[in-house]
A and B are shown apart, each in its own frame.
Chain A
Amino acid sequence: MTAETLTTILIAMLGGAIRVSTPFLFVALGETITEKSGRINLGLEGNLVLGAMVAYALAYHTGSPWLGVLAAGGAGLLLGVMHGVICSLPRVNDIAVGLAMMSFGTGIAFFFGKPYIQPSAPRLEALPLGGWSDNPALQQALEVNPLFFTGIAVAVVLWWAFANTRIGLILRMTGDSEPAARAMGVDPIRVRVLATAAGGFLAGVGGAFLSLSYPGSWNEGLSSGQGLMAVALVIFARWNPLRCIAAALLFGAAGAIGPALQSVGISQGYYFFNAAPYILTLFIMIASARKASGQDAPGELSITK
């Protein structure tokens, strides 16, 4: 392998990391909010797929992709409220409800999405940030979607808000100790429903990125478990929004290995490289599982017990 091909691969991976990481980032941030409140929503894969479908349909009908993004968030919010309310009933298992919401969300998306597989909707315009370079590959890699920056901004705001605002404090208290929250006059159920709704909204927006930017069309094989991997990513990021950014970029880069190698003509083992993010996630979970149940994890969270 020459230095030139290596550069090409690295540039393709950089561009891929930025593109592929965006949905991971949104789902992971949403899941962080939900898990901080002491609940886990495994159904965000459903939000992602439904968000992708709704965004595409709305962008097609109205001509405005940003309206699609908003509608995707709304659809995700509704699924989040459903999950939140059902899990508030006594004796209901939040992990199983997540699985059910995943199949419900994807079912609805496939059902209503059939007519939108063919037509093409307006996509979100990317910002060309590579103008300073005369390397066309680098220019292409640095065509960054505004949603990526939105995600980073959301992460920073969340990181600040968890530590410094009244809402952040209430959220963390509910997640760490339900009795303490009750003693302070906070209704834990209300906090958790709202946190799951907010998480669902962000996951829906992540779905809009899939259909309106990269890969940039709607079909039933659009998401292949990104919503699930993002849940594992949150454990890896130890419920810290800033670490979510780094983790999402890492996952994006892992997901970009296969296509990057293919772009220089290496197609052998394509499927193994495509499985890289799943394998990476599994190893990260093995390495961090026991540690994660330490002081960083919300005390009420069932998944680390």
Chain B
Amino acid sequence: MAEQVAIPVGALIVAALLFSGVLLVLGKNPVQYFQLVWQGGFGSAFSLQNSLQRSAPLILTGLAFAIPAAIGLTMINAEGALVLGGFAAAAVAVPLVSGAAPVGLTMVVMGAAAMLVGGLWTALAGWLRHARGVNETISTLLLTYIAIAIMNFFVEGLLRDPGSANKPSTMPIGKDYMVGNIGGSSVHWGFVAGLVLAVGLFVLMRRTTFGFAARVTGGNARAARAQGLPVGGLVVACCLISGACGGLAGYYEVAAIQGQANASLVAGYGFTGILVSFLARHNPLVIVPVAILFGAIEASGGLIQRRMDMPDATALVLQGMIFVVLLASDTLQGRLAIFQPKEGGR
């Protein structure tokens, strides 16, 4: 157990040191950088709320990667599910909003549409993997580009709001139908949805027969089949859950942040979610704090850009380094002497 925490934390520290080296070479002060990340991410009530707000889609996209990972799939579906789910939510909202449908009903329909579309989009890749042996990593990446093209097609054509001249968008859903913030804060309810789903999916994957069967399949698909487990059904079910998480992230981006669907949905949350899930070792509960950490790195981006004159891609470099070092550190699993049980002891 200690090893499960120590290796990722060690990888984070090593990546931070390597990144500091890069900053030193560029003549920047690494201490100042990490101070600014702290200040811009957690330093004040305002920045903390900013971090939590940005962590909401990362929790959901992290979960979207973690659930198929449990059954042994490497799926890059979250970005596509987010974009298409967010678009579906904005699209079904058009007739509801113009017909002045009840707010609660509209929100439920929008959220359900986002989760359904995201889920089915991902289930397609899962089914192709199971039935045809199509590699799911490549197919989900291709589906991501296709999803973005589908959204662009409608946003710049049929469903375009004539008022959106410079940035083609769907019709705004209007203030009344937007998801509000928690209490008096600036954090929207998507964060709470992420927390609830993280707990719920932790219970599902670790405490139920379904979760057990999925993890057995992830450990050894052949053995699972020999035991009579419905491998295909489990794969598709995990993909549906994953896509629903991504779609829900898209719903909150549309209904809590943008107010309409447009190219801003393609913000890379799906890709950062992969890193979040790996750092959390695909544990739904651990995904929450890790997502908040990455929310903080994003929230501090503007401050770092202003104070240190560094481009916004700085966060990308740091994330890339963490990702590479983290995966390399997998080789240490079970090989660090201090974590091994003592001879003869318990």
A96-B311 in contact given A111-B317, A279-B146 (Cβ < 8 Å):
no
Question: B residues within 8 A CB of A282?
Answer: 139, 142-143, 146
Segment at the B interface, from A22-30, A100-108, A161-169, A175-183: A100-108
Residue B227 interfacial (CB < 8 Å): no
CB-CB under 8 A from A106, the residues of chain B are: 316, 320
Instruction: Enumerate chain B residues within 8 angstroms of A274, measured Cβ to Cβ.
Output: 149
Contact assessment for A278 and B142 in the assembled complex, using a CB-CB cutoff below 8 Å: yes
Contact A91 B333 (CB under 8 A): yes
Return the CB mask of A256-295 against B: 1 if under 8 Å, else 0: 0000000000001101101100110110011001100100
Cβ-defined partner of A92 (8 Å) among B138, B145, B328: B328
Interface pair B313/A107, CB less than 8 Å apart: yes
Number of interface residues of A (CB under 8 A): 48
Binary per-residue interface labels of chain B (180-196) against chain A in the complex, 1 for a CB within 8 Å, 0 otherwise: 00000000000000000
Instruction: Tell yes or no: B16 within 8 A of A by CB.
Output: no
- Say yes or no for B321: interface residue by CB 8 A criterion: yes
* Assembly CA distance A103 to B149 (angstroms): 22
Q: Mark B285-329, 1 if CB is under 8 A from A, else 0.
A: 000000000000000000000000001011011111101101110
CA gap between A293 and B153 in the complex, in Å: 36
- Closest chain B residue to A275 by CB distance? B149
Q: Which residue of A lies closest to B143 (CB)?
A: A282
Complex CA–CA separation, A290 to B330 (angstroms): 31
A-B contact list, 10 entries, CB within 8 Å: A42-B138, A100-B324, A103-B323, A107-B320, A225-B145, A229-B142, A232-B138, A232-B142, A275-B149, A303-B135
Would A228 and B324 be within 8 Å (CB), given that A114-B311, A285-B134, A290-B132 are in contact?
no
Q: Does A93 contact B (CB under 8 A)?
A: yes
Q: Which residues of A contact B324 (CB under 8 A)?
A: 82, 86, 97, 100-101, 104
For A101, A104, A113, A114, the residue with the greatest tally of chain B CB atoms inside 10 Å of its CB is: A104
Stretch at the interface among B52-60, B87-95, B270-278: B270-278
B153 touches A271 (CB 8 A): yes
Q: Which residue of B lies closest to A276 (CB)?
A: B149
Q: How far is the CA of A231 from the CA of B326 in the complex (A)?
A: 24
Q: Does B152 contact A (CB under 8 A)?
A: yes
5 closest pairs, A vs B, by CB?
A104-B320, A107-B316, A110-B313, A275-B149, A100-B323
| Cβ-defined contact, A93 with B327, below 8 A | yes
Which of A99, A104, A279, A293 sits near B133, CB closer than 8 Å? A293
Q: Tell me if A95 counts as interface (CB < 8 A to partner B).
A: yes
In the bound assembly, the distance between CA atoms of A92 and B331 in angstroms comes to 6
A170 to B153, CA, bound (A): 49
B residues apposed to A, CB below 8 Å:
74, 76, 128, 132-135, 137-139, 141-143, 145-146, 149-150, 152-153, 156-157, 271, 274-275, 278, 311, 313-314, 316-321, 323-324, 326-328, 330-331, 333
* Residue of B133, B271, B326 touching A290 (CB-CB under 8 A): B133
**B residues in contact with A82, CB < 8 Å:** 324
Q: A285-B139, A289-B132 are in contact. Are A103 and B331 (CB under 8 A)?
A: no
B residues near A278, Cβ cutoff 8 Å: 142-143, 145-146, 149
Bound together, the chains give a CA A103 to CA B324 distance in angstroms of 9
- Cα of A281 to Cα of B278 in the assembled complex, Å: 28
Q: A100-B324, A275-B146, A281-B142 are in contact. List 19 more A-B contacts (CB 8 A).
A: A82-B324, A86-B328, A89-B328, A91-B333, A92-B328, A99-B74, A100-B275, A103-B275, A103-B316, A104-B317, A107-B318, A108-B317, A110-B316, A111-B313, A111-B316, A232-B138, A271-B149, A271-B152, A290-B133
Q: Which residue of B lies closest to A229 (CB)?
A: B142
Chain A residue contacts of B271, Cβ below 8 A = 103
A224 within 8 A of B: yes
A111 contacts across to B, CB distance below 8 A? 311, 313-314, 316-317
For A274, A282, A290, which residue has the most chain B Cβ atoms within 10 angstroms?
Answer: A282
Which residues does chain A contribute within 8 Å of B331, judged by CB atoms?
A: 89-92
B220 to chain A, nearest CB (A): 13
Within 8 A of B (CB), among A102-139: 103-108, 110-111, 113-114
Pick from A104, A105, A224, A228: contact of B138, CB below 8 A.
Answer: A228
- Whether A107 contacts B317 in the complex (CB less than 8 A), given A282-B142, A286-B134, comes out as yes
Find chain A residues with CB under 8 A from B326 CB: 100
Query: Is A96's CB under 8 angstroms from B149's CB?
Result: no
Residues of B within 8 A of A89 (CB): 328, 330-331
